[in-house]
Amino acid sequence: MIEKKVDIAVIGAGPGGLAAAVSAKESGADVLLIERNPFLGGILIQCIHDGFGLHLFDKNYTGPEYAEEMVNRLENAGVPYLTNCMVIDLNEKKELTVVTSKGLMKLIAKAVILAMGCRERTRGALEIPGTRPAGIYTAGVAQNLVNIQNLRIGNDVVILGSGDVGLIMARRLKIEGLNVIRVIEILPYCSGLVRNRVQCLEDYGIPLTLSSTVIDIHGKDRLEAVTMAKVDRDFNVDHDTTEKIDCDTLLLSVGLIPENELSKKAGVNLDNRTSGALVDNFYETSTEGIFSCGNVLHIHDVADYASNEGFFVGEKAAEYAKGKWKHSGGKPVKIGNGISYVVPQYIRNDCNEVELKFRVTQPFENVRIIVKNGDDVVFKKRVLKVIPSEMNILKLKSIDPEKDVEVKIVIIDKNIN
Amino acid sequence: MDKIHDIIIIGAGVVGCALARALSRYKLDVLVLEKEDDVAGSTSKANSGVIHAGYHKKPGSLKATLNVAGHSYFQRLSDELDFPVKFIGKLVVAKKENEIEDLRKLMDRGFKNGVKGLELIDGKQIKHFEPNVNGFAAMHSPVSGITSPYLMCIALAENAHLNGVDFVFDTEVTGISKEKEIFVVQVSNGSIYRSRWLINSAGLNSARVSQMICENDHRMYPCRGEYYITDKVDTLIKRLIYPTPSKDGVTLGIHITPTLDGNILIGPSAEYIERLDDTASTREVMDKLKRESSQFLPPIKEAKFIRNYAGIRAKLFHPSSGVKDADFVIEEDESIKRMINLIGIESPGLTAAPAIAEKVVGIIGEKEALVDDEKFNPERKAPVVFEHLSDDEKARLIEQDPDYGEIVCRCETITKKEVLAALNNPLGVRTLDGVKKRCRAGMGRCQGGFCTPRIVEIMTDEYGISPEEIYKNNESSNMFFGKVKDDREEG
Ligand SMILES: Cc1cc2nc3c(=O)[nH]c(=O)nc-3n(C[C@H](O)[C@H](O)[C@H](O)COP(=O)(O)OP(=O)(O)OC[C@H]3O[C@@H](n4cnc5c(N)ncnc54)[C@H](O)[C@@H]3O)c2cc1C
Ligand SMILES: Cc1cc2nc3c(=O)[nH]c(=O)nc-3n(C[C@H](O)[C@H](O)[C@H](O)COP(=O)(O)OP(=O)(O)OC[C@H]3O[C@@H](n4cnc5c(N)ncnc54)[C@H](O)[C@@H]3O)c2cc1C
């Protein structure tokens, strides 16, 4: 057994973990970054399209280019890292068990940063009835098979779910000459980013059918067809609207789930809204000295935001490892009308400045985003449009941490304004 | 193929595999023909995996006696063949007072069938055993257990193979005739196999296969049972939780079965269907499974589901005819000598399989002397399961072989070495589902999301094949259609 001690262990080398490792090192900590894949960069490596780095680097990078930029920073900062090494166990004492090709490693850390990313929702989680043939893939798996392994996964493709990965794969497969029949979305609106809907579907003439879903799957060995039907606002299927679509491939782009199995082993409490850890505004979880950032904490729209979170968390974890502050817990942020989740979920009682990230429950037009601190309104902004697929970030400069903070959406009454 | 085998077995479900293994201890030339790509390709992979105690079936019936006898083989088989069994016990739960009578009937049958350890318990004791389960009273059956039905079939078949039995997959028997006391068996690819004995353990197709040569009026009424599989929820229940049996006597009711890997199965439903192979899941039944199971295990509603599946019961009766049960048919045909038919082997067929096998050996043994093969080796070693080892053992293995140091399936912690072992299985099965059954890669919560690309890579490397030659199970279930880009364009 290999034994090792370190100030900070970072688990996962996607945009979140890379940023966290760089900033922890630059803040003076002794860091080890551990990645399961044979390469650094996480999910970015299979995202060969552009649109990365617009916020962080002011550049329009592809996924691998963005990863390269981050890896350069990592190497400049001199952060040691392991690839092909998977953390299989973590406990509350911050002892990690790592499988490496050289042997099993016990790593004892003063602080741990969880940056394991997410996995995709599958057919089983969606509970789609029907047969179980070959030819059903989640969009991210299809992306890997096509972009990394150079494999043609089918001929006639239906995509269920208008998540970003699905939209990007619709375009990708169309470019590679596959017949992308349509994208089917259960919500009355596209759930991916607007730019992806325009650039991936509309520009390529791929139809998007809203308020509809796949209710049956046909074909014994390889997929032969799916049955599509309309749904009402409460997602009840209208069986008079069924349509059988012949296809040999079904891609699912129906949501990402933070990968928190390891976090649970370390006693980290999870938020059922995000499926990620509950954290305070230093991104410390309920387990002292364990931090979380990136998609394992909550699903980010773009890699840049995951990295930004990582930069912040790396610094905080370094401060913790040096004993600059202690676990506090703090006061829960209240989730008001129209808000689906807020991160962080707690505000420490020694902080007056805090950044809140949140999503809305449904698309709203002409509303106010309001943050109250006790009885005071500390933030107020009128917005013409907010949608669930876009994360909102706001900074509060001087709050009273002893008083409740609540985020909510208020619909502007046209008659009054 | 002019060779004349002593025995041909049609079908490599649990019955065919148990029989192959039982026969492999004698000096016999045995061949198994199976239409799917692997053992347990049909009903034997899609059931509850329960080792029944044997209190359910009518005293004196083959179903009852072979169930109780079959149960008694499991521990030894598991020790010899290294497949998992666990006798976790079962509660048959009466939701209301008026169901206690049903429990008493089961106790009574169990007593007559020779089942050990049955006891009636009250609602308080239920809570003591299983805090999450609601019920008025229950019958506790401590000897009921669970196994992995496909690992069991693989273990039986591998040991049979080690002892000289040949398995031929992707080969469907399409016709049978008899020439001068020798069976001539035609298969889907046009080949012909010959044997002195022919054993029909073709499961759902057993009536059809028997009628290729025998005259009888057995008819199969397929009855589908659908299931849900949850993500790992170790803490919810420790035992099998069953309702009191349905009044029509058709099934045991929708029950809740913990698996050896910490998941939970909910099901099966019972629905007579048209086609023998229609294993699709349906919305109505899926909703019903959740509804009924949450009546006695309310927290199951919160569980996360990772997959659905369905298995089909090989029933020899339709309830509309008023018949409540039909016994197993296990007999040598009256006019076609040395043709043994195993028909209607529905539940408790998995449990009974080892005893069914011995019964068939007995039928053969009455006709001719079976000579022990002194080279018979009763033991078979399962491949290493890395996740089950202690840290020290894990460390030692990685030092011996760095392929243990690469985790391929992250949900189930399966190493490259385990995938390689599955790829190089003794039966020569080469499909993605074959890998999945053997080492669990792809059976976890992401359902192969992360590991499929890597397994495809390892398969193409190890077998020296192209990705187009990779199949999910049979030869029409191809995964890929060539490359996206020509290799030349890449550089
Ligand atoms: C399929 C897909 C397509 C996307 N497309 C775009 C896009 O076009 N534009 C955009 O801006 N954003 C896109 N995103 C979003 C963006 O890439 C993600 O927000 C970002 O990658 C999240 O970064 P992360 O570091 O949290 O996670 P990841 O990038 O997922 O990295 C997590 C890393 O942790 C490793 N890991 C996990 N568990 C362990 C363990 N136990 N031990 C060791 N290592 C472990 C994983 O192997 C992985 O490398 C996409 C996301 C996905 C999933
Ligand atoms: C929903 C359900 C739940 C059950 N739960 C339990 C349980 O918990 N405990 C228990 O003890 N029992 C249970 N059973 C019963 C048990 O699963 C079966 O009795 C058992 O699997 C039958 O095994 P078999 O080998 O006879 O049939 P099968 O597994 O069907 O095997 C027959 C094989 O023959 C092959 N075959 C068919 N036709 C041909 C042909 N023409 N040529 C070549 N090959 C052919 C098929 O491909 C198949 O592989 C359950 C059954 C069902 C349906």
Query: Domain boundary at B294, B315, B336, which?
Result: B315
Q: Where do we find the tokens 């030349």?
A: B488
Does one domain contain both A128 and A200? yes
Q: Provide the pLDDT for residue B449.
A: 83
- The H or E element spanning position A68 is helix A63-77
Q: Which residues pair with B200 in a beta bridge?
A: B10, B341
Query: Would the pLDDT of A329 be above 80?
Result: no
Mean pLDDT along residues A357-370: 96
Does one domain contain both A393 and A409? yes
Q: Provide the pLDDT for residue B324.
A: 82
Q: Provide the pLDDT for residue B491.
A: 39
Question: B300, B3, B25: which is closest to B160 by C-alpha?
Answer: B25
Percent of chain A with pLDDT over 90: 94
| Centre of ligand 1 from the C-alpha of residue A44, in Å | 6
Domain residues for the domain of B25 are: 1-85+146-216+324-382
From the list A101, A131, A152, the residue facing B482 with the nearest CB is: A152
Query: Would the pLDDT of A416 be above 60?
Result: no
C-beta A35 within 6 A of ligand 1: yes
Looking at the structure of chain A, the number of domains it has is: 3
> Are the CB atoms for B212 and B175 separated by under 8 Å?
yes
Q: Tokens in use for B291?
A: 């509804």
Does one domain contain both B61 and B177? yes
* Rounded Cα–Cα distance for residues B245 and B241 (Å): 12
> Are the CB atoms for B471 and B478 separated by under 8 Å?
yes
Does one domain contain both A294 and A339? no
Does one domain contain both A317 and A333? no
CB atoms within 10 A of CB B331: 16
CB atoms within 10 A of CB B388: 10
Inspect the interface and report whether the beta carbons of A124 and B447 lie closer than 8 Å.
yes
DSSP structural state of residue B390? -
Does one domain contain both A319 and A358? no
SS3 label, residue B35: coil
Does one domain contain both B232 and B299? yes
Mutate to test the interface with A, among B304, B388, B447, B452 (most CBs of A within 10 A): B447
Each residue's pLDDT tens digit, A160-210: 999 899 999 999 999 999 999 999 999 999 989 889 999 999 999 999 999
Does one domain contain both B172 and B191? yes
Q: Provide the pLDDT for residue B144.
A: 98
* Rounded Cα–Cα distance for residues B244 and B255 (Å): 10
Q: Provide the pLDDT for residue B488.
A: 52
> Are the CB atoms for B154 and B438 separated by under 8 Å?
yes
- CA nearest to B387 within chain A: A88
Does one domain contain both A188 and A167? yes
Inspect the interface and report whether the beta carbons of B282 and A129 lie closer than 8 Å.
yes
Q: Are strands B145-147 and B50-51 parallel, antiparallel or unpaired?
A: antiparallel
DSSP structural state of residue B468? G
> Are the CB atoms for B231 and B284 separated by under 8 Å?
no
State the helix-helix crossing angle for B432-439 and B149-162, rounded to 10 degrees. Answer: 100
Q: Where do we find the tokens 């760095």?
A: B402
Query: Would the pLDDT of A415 be above 80?
Result: no
Q: Is residue B276 part of a domain?
A: yes
Q: Quick one: how many helices (H) and strands (E) in chain A?
A: 8, 28
CATH number, domain of B421, equals 1.10.10
The closest residue, in CA terms, to atom 53 on ligand 1 is A43
Does B489 touch chain A if contact means CB atoms closer than 8 Å? no
Each residue's pLDDT tens digit, A238-261: 999 999 999 999 999 999 999 999
Instruction: Name every residue whose Cβ is closer than 8 Å to that of residue A72 and which is 6 or more positions away in sequence.
Output: none
Question: Which protein residues touch ligand 2 with a CB less than 6 Å away?
Answer: B 10-16, 33-36, 41-44, 47-50, 52, 172-173, 201-205, 209, 225, 268, 311-313, 345-351
* Rounded Cα–Cα distance for residues B25 and A254 (Å): 53
Does one domain contain both A395 and A309? no
Q: Is residue B463 part of a domain?
A: yes
Query: Domain boundary at A293, A327, A361, which?
Result: A327
* Rounded Cα–Cα distance for residues A33 and A18 (Å): 8
Measured from the Cα of B342, ligand 2's closest atom is 26
Percent of chain A with pLDDT over 70: 99
Q: Provide the pLDDT for residue B490.
A: 45
Does one domain contain both A243 and A388? no
Q: How many Cα atoms within 13 Å fall on the side-chain side of residue A283?
A: 31
Does one domain contain both B75 and B97? no
> Are the CB atoms for A387 and A360 separated by under 8 Å?
yes
Query: Domain boundary at B365, B382, B399, which?
Result: B382
Looking at the structure of chain B, the number of domains it has is: 3
Q: Where do we find the tokens 């193929």?
A: B1
Q: Is residue B491 part of a domain?
A: no
Higher pLDDT, A214 or B248: A214
Each residue's pLDDT tens digit, B188-232: 999 999 999 999 999 999 999 999 999 999 999 999 999 999 998
Instruction: Name every residue whose Cβ is closer than 8 Å to that of residue B188 and which is 6 or more positions away in sequence.
Output: B35, B171, B172, B174
Does one domain contain both A107 and A156? no
Question: B250, B246, B223, B237: which is closest to B292 by C-alpha?
Answer: B246
Point out the residues of B that are catalytic: 52
| Centre of ligand 2 from the C-alpha of residue B33, in Å | 15
Does B111 touch chain A if contact means CB atoms closer than 8 Å? no
What's the CA angle centered on B234, arms B229 and B238, to 5 degrees? 95
Query: Domain boundary at A327, A343, A366, which?
Result: A327
Does one domain contain both B184 and B198? yes
**Rounded CA Rg of chain B:** 23
> Are the CB atoms for A121 and A255 separated by under 8 Å?
yes
Instruction: Name every residue whose Cβ is closer than 8 Å to that of residue B196 and which is 6 or more positions away in sequence.
Output: B4, B5, B6, B7, B181, B182, B183, B338
Q: Provide the pLDDT for residue B250.
A: 61
CATH number, domain of A344, equals 2.60.40
Residue spans of chain B under pLDDT 70: 1, 248-250, 487-491
* Rounded Cα–Cα distance for residues A331 and A310 (Å): 23
CATH number, domain of B350, equals 3.50.50.60
Does one domain contain both A207 and A94? no
Does one domain contain both B306 and B233? yes
Count Cβ atoms within 10 A of the Cβ of residue B147 and give its class: 0-12 exposed, 13-18 middle, 19 or more buried: buried
Question: B213, B200, B168: which is closest to B3 by C-alpha?
Answer: B168
Does one domain contain both B196 and B258? no
Question: A51, A90, A96: which is closest to A264 by C-alpha?
Answer: A90
Q: Provide the pLDDT for residue A414.
A: 63
* Rounded Cα–Cα distance for residues A202 and B330 (Å): 64
Does one domain contain both B404 and B458? yes
Instruction: Name every residue whose Cβ is closer than 8 Å to that of residue B400 and which is 6 or more positions away in sequence.
Output: none
Domain residues for the domain of A338 are: 328-417
Residues of A in contact with B484 (CB under 8 A): 146, 150-152, 176
CB atoms within 10 A of CB A162: 27
Query: Domain boundary at B382, B400, B418, which?
Result: B382
Q: Where do we find the tokens 């998992």?
A: B84
> Are the CB atoms for A384 and A366 separated by under 8 Å?
yes
Q: Are strands A179-184 and A208-209 parallel, antiparallel or unpaired?
A: parallel
Q: Is residue B481 part of a domain?
A: no
Q: Which string of DSSP letters, residue by residue, matches B159-223?
A: HHHHTT-EEE-S--EEEEEEETTEEEEEETTS-EEEEEEEEE--GGGHHHHHTTT-------EEE
Residues of B in contact with A176 (CB under 8 A): 484-485
Percent of chain B with pLDDT over 90: 87
Q: Where do we find the tokens 């996360």?
A: B304
> Are the CB atoms for A139 and A49 separated by under 8 Å?
no
First to last CA, chain A: 69
Does one domain contain both B192 and B332? yes
Does B124 touch chain A if contact means CB atoms closer than 8 Å? no
Write the CA distances from B311 to B243, B269, B273, integer angstroms: 20, 10, 12
Q: Tokens in use for B58?
A: 């009518």
Cβ contacts from A onto B, under 8 A: 140
SS3 label, residue B391: helix
State the helix-helix crossing angle for A139-147 and B452-463, rounded to 10 degrees. Answer: 40
Measured from the Cα of B352, ligand 2's closest atom is 11
Q: Is residue B490 part of a domain?
A: no
Mutate to test the interface with B, among A100, A106, A132, A146 (most CBs of B within 10 A): A132
Does one domain contain both B366 and B439? no
Query: Would the pLDDT of A417 be above 80?
Result: no
Does one domain contain both B300 and B254? yes
- Is ipTM beyond 0.95? no
* Rounded Cα–Cα distance for residues B111 and B318 (Å): 29
* Rounded Cα–Cα distance for residues B269 and B255 (Å): 9
Does one domain contain both A350 and A371? yes
Write the CA distances from A75 to A13, A46, A345, B396, integer angstroms: 13, 21, 33, 32
Does one domain contain both A320 and A389? no
Q: Strand runs (DSSP E) across A115-254, as ranges?
A: 118-120, 136-138, 156-160, 179-184, 208-209, 212-218, 225-231, 237-246, 249-252
CATH number, domain of B95, equals 3.30.9.10
Does A174 touch chain B if contact means CB atoms closer than 8 Å? no
Write the CA distances from B181 to B330, B338, B361, integer angstroms: 21, 9, 20
Query: Domain boundary at A286, A305, A327, which?
Result: A327
Inspect the interface and report whether the beta carbons of B413 and A144 lie closer than 8 Å.
no
* Cis previous bond, B59, omega within 30: no
Does one domain contain both B180 and B301? no
pTM given for the model: 0.94
Q: Which residues pair with A2 in a beta bridge?
A: A105
